[in-house]
Structure 1
């Protein structure tokens, strides 16, 4: 088991799906990890799937249509079981084959794409679940090691110039354009990679949340390698 995981106050480790969904976030812990060493040929699944665009959704029937080896079939069974566990729990999982996400290049001083450290927000009580089965995996970072970008003076000044409206409406402007969801890692920060095969539950910003939302980012993809990601 990774010492990075076990040494972090931010991460709670669990051994079952039931523990993953029923354990409360508390204190500094805003990420729960069902730590797993998965067996199976997930690369074979990725190689057989047809990438229709940079991010292609894959449905259970697409997986079932693949002709796979014994190891490939084992990987497929794991994905389908995870899909069913999350669905039965009431979540809406999505399986994606990813070449890359869209980049935000509108402003050169602040990015609002998923490659930027960010938190998720929801008007209702929910959490983010994710598992990378193949390819590069996401990073999370402790809230104490990152600063909200809209609070950085030079960025805030430039955003105020773009807003060009009443000061009383500035905070609403930041929220409406998702600027307030993004963070900048501090120089001493030590992001933690979530790894491959583990199923994660990350705290989301919503009105009843008892902890700070988990700051995370999508990884830069490896050249010539697609990601296989379950998320909801």
Structure 2
């Protein structure tokens, strides 16, 4: 298989689920990709699922209840297998049918929704897993190609005007409101599109982490097209 992500020094490309789980995040490596060429008709699954909100969590029972063609069956088997593998590994996967995510429009100078480049944070050792089966795909960004929004002078100044306090109190304010989790791409930076069907494991910010957390974002959805996303 052509390792289309192997040129990106932050990404470890693997060919099995066990290798995905065994990849050590250290130094520059903060993302692992089980690169796959999936068989099956995921578009058929999307067309037969019912969107109940802009983001709808799809249960495995609802997925299994769908009447599908042979290729639809193949696609469903992939999703069920991914859920079984991740669940057995201690993760809690969910399947999302997405029209759009909620936008953060509180401030015009900084955004903290999932369309903004961000990292995930956890008090315990964990990882973020995701796989786009259908629709627009997520992106990651090398850490040296990004800058924390709270360190961009004009943004930081506006945040300080919003919350005038001691430096320690201000830093706590940034953390409590998740401003410090968000990044902007440096000029000339090229994000990595995660592609369809590949199962990704991304490093999270937690106390025992031996690398920088992986910076990622959700894509803007394509007009008239839903996304089918596994995430945990």
Moved over 4 A (4+): 1-4
Judged with a 3 Å threshold, the aligned counterparts in structure 2 of structure 1 residues 2 and 160 are, in CA distance, closer, same or farther, namely: farther
> Partner residue of 1:84?
84
Question: 1:163 maps to which residue?
Answer: 163
Other-structure match for 2:191? 191
Q: Does 1:141 align with 2:141?
A: yes
Inter-CA distance 211–199: structure 2 relative to 1 (3 Å threshold): same
1:223 aligned partner: 223
Output the aligned Cα RMSD. 0.9
Matches within 5 A, 1:47-126: 47-126=47-126
On the 8 A contact 1:4/1:192 being kept in 2, the answer is no
| Farther-moved stretch of structure 1 (3-12 vs 39-48) | 3-12
Instruction: Give per-residue Cα distances to partners, 1:85-132, cap 9 Å, x unaligned.
Output: 000100000100000000000000000000000000000000000000
| C-alpha distance in 2 between matches for 1:159 and 1:210 | 30
Deviation at 1:6, TM superposition (A): 1.3
Structure 1 stretch displaced more, 205-214 or 157-166: 157-166
**Structure 2: distance between partners of 1:214 and 1:80:** 26
1:19-54 deviation line (CA, Å, top 9, x unaligned): 101110122110000000000000010000000000
What is the deviation of 1:2? 5.8
- Quote the Cα distance in structure 1 between the aligned partners of 2:190 and 2:163: 33
Q: What's the counterpart of residue 212 of structure 2?
A: 212
The normalised TM-score by structure 2 is: 0.98
For structure 1, list consecutive stretches of 5 or more residues without a partner in the other structure. none
Query: Paired residue for 1:152?
Result: 152
Between 1:99-108 and 1:158-167, the stretch displaced more is 158-167
Residues 26 and 166 of structure 1: is their aligned pair in 2 closer, same or farther, counting only changes over 3 Å? closer
**Cα distance between partner residues in 2 of 1:183 and 1:122:** 18
Contact between 2:99 and 2:226, CA under 8 Å: does it hold in 1? yes
Q: Is the 8 A contact 2:33 2:199 kept in 1?
A: yes
